[in-house]
Chain A
């Protein structure tokens, strides 16, 4: 019983990319998990109990993902805890800071964790979520971010480690920013990402597509997008289009038949939204701007089929290799 169970779990399953979710207590870690991966309504997370045990949850998307959540009140440097093994096995460390609270404590805690994690596993991605920004005004958000970045930089300098790459995200569970942040985090763990982006770029160039996302249908995290800049509004519309498609389909389709879904919607000003299911619970959602719907859609459909084949090929190879 010396070894807590959580430590043996990720190492049993080396294929699974693990995201470690850490932070002080009441920071909002469980809420993030529930909202992103369980489709819980943000307001309902008010009633979540305090997490007392480390919990791991597995998700299967393009890559297999495990999100491990550690309770905030835990002291990771207690000898009974095999933190070394833990940090070695994870791909990304996500640290949640409550921006509405005093965060100085959290920053000291974070600096210590970074120092330790970096020593054990220099490959680790360190991501800081400046969380609960919904309560802050626009100007104040940036100030807070600057302040936090500055302080962490100083702390790390004092500890003598400057080379660590730390990314910052402003997040809130009441809008889409948390999905955006998680999308970026997950993308860093996907080995095949450059080829995926390349594929999407090719698709976009040849089909008059304005923006395309490769979504995970359940969590609405996008695992890849083409290289044009992501506009949050477009992302939101695409994410909501997934809901529309899946909900409408659920009403009329009996659940047994698992045929791929294809859905397209034309808007008044010539925008076309399309949804195509791909392999492994993924879906390609694209925004097209064109007036001649029939012709464009025929080309797009054909191109997307080719893209789907390419995706399958990549996937087969990455399993073999």
Chain B
């Protein structure tokens, strides 16, 4: 999962990955000034026992986020939850303010009509167990073979961004100026969604606008992440990197700063002046540095 989001692997390539030994650390710069320290903990029993005994103060101290991944196909659900509870216990002691995310992973292996049910059951159970320790759990059903992975990671990463409000107000101002249907902000290297112009003010928008959005695909953010990431991969074949895209003068994707991409959708059926839009986006750059 980490390789796909942060190291440009395709879902296929992940087959070549070996087992993780102990903890694999990676440091990632995100949005320029934020750096993520990702601790990928190997899940074999030997290592696990170690985490909860010898290394517990090392592992569980100063944790911002716990991402606990469950294999939906796992035979020993009881044991899996037990491990989860163990880590909650440690977190309560060492970093009680940590945010807890749970991913029910490998969802592609479950029949489509059973997925929701399974997810519901599992989440109920996890919620109950974590209430005991005073944590709230956010859960996602994920698979590396579709865009659900991007959704999960983008909400995880977003929960860590401190000046989110700033981004949101700037974005909705920009939306008004451009008279855009929608604007989405992406992180440049991972193409995870940072925020969109319609996330915060959906209720205050006039009805006219709301109707438009109901018709749109609710999974569109993740799909765009997926599409653009693929395109980024393919543009490396020309030994280059993606810079901007313009579809029918309605849809613009362009760099906003060294670590942001902006995605603007203008209302269809109107002849937009692409020069004007580009100029506006250029002006907006200084607000997103």
Contacts and interface: CB of A to CB of B under 8 A. Distances in A.
Interface residues of B, number: 32
B231 A261 contact: no
Contacts of B216: 251-252
Interface string B175-215: 00000010000000000000000000000000000000001
Contact of B247 (A233, A234, A243, A248): A248
A254 B241 contact: no
B240 A263 contact: no
Contact of B243 (A234, A236, A237, A268): A268
B237 interface: yes
Contacts of B224: 248, 251
Given A261-B247, A263-B246, A271-B240, A247 B227 contact: yes
A252 B237 CA distance: 28
Nearest to B234: A240
A266 B268 contact: no
Contacts of A251: 216-217, 220, 223-224
Contact of B223 (A247, A264, A287): A247
A39 to B, nearest CB: 15
Nearest to B242: A267
Interface string A242-265: 011101110111100101011111
B237 to A, nearest CB: 5
Contacts of A259: 248
Contact of B242 (A254, A257, A261, A268): A268
A267 B243 contact: yes
Contact of A245 (B234, B240, B247, B269): B247
Interface string A5-19: 000000000000000
Main secondary structure of the interface of B (DSSP, over half): mixed
A236 B235 CA distance: 10
A241 interface: yes
A269 interface: yes
A267 B254 CA distance: 10
Contacts of B242: 265, 267-268
Nearest to A289: B238
A247 B215 CA distance: 16
A99 to B, nearest CB: 22
A264 B265 contact: no
B245 interface: yes
A135 to B, nearest CB: 16
A243 B234 CA distance: 11
A263 B227 contact: no
Contact of A265 (B217, B227, B244, B265): B244
B247 A263 contact: yes
A234 B244 contact: no
B251 A233 contact: no
A234 B239 CA distance: 11
A29 to B, nearest CB: 24
A243 B250 CA distance: 17
B237 A248 contact: no
Interface string A34-47: 00000000000000
B228 to A, nearest CB: 8
B44 interface: no
A252 B264 CA distance: 11
A257 B249 CA distance: 16
Given A261-B247, A264-B246, A265-B245, A271 B234 contact: no
Contacts of A268: 240-243
A233 B237 contact: yes
Contacts of A233: 237-238
A266 B220 contact: no
A265 B215 CA distance: 27
Nearest to B226: A247
Contacts of A261: 247-248
Interface in A203-241: 233-234, 236-237, 240-241
- Interface core residue of A243, A247, A249, A254 (most chain B CB under 10 Å): A247
B159 interface: no
Contacts of B280: none
A305 to B, nearest CB: 15
A252 B251 contact: yes
Contacts of B250: 252
Contact of A253 (B223, B228, B268): B268
A244 B227 contact: yes
B93 interface: no
B23 to A, nearest CB: 33
Given A240-B230, A247-B227, A267 B247 contact: no
Contacts of B240: 267-269, 271
A236 B234 contact: yes
Interface of A: 233-234, 236-237, 240-241, 243-245, 247-249, 251-254, 257, 259, 261-269, 271, 287, 294
Given A241-B234, A263-B245, A268-B240, 15 more contacts: A236-B234, A237-B234, A237-B235, A241-B231, A249-B247, A252-B250, A254-B268, A263-B247, A264-B245, A265-B243, A265-B246, A266-B243, A268-B242, A269-B238, A269-B239
25 contacts: A233-B237, A236-B237, A237-B234, A241-B231, A241-B234, A244-B228, A244-B230, A247-B223, A248-B224, A248-B247, A252-B220, A252-B250, A252-B265, A253-B268, A254-B268, A261-B247, A262-B247, A263-B245, A265-B243, A265-B244, A266-B244, A267-B242, A268-B243, A269-B238, A269-B241
Interface of B: 181, 215-217, 220, 223-224, 227-228, 230-231, 234-235, 237-251, 265, 268-269, 275
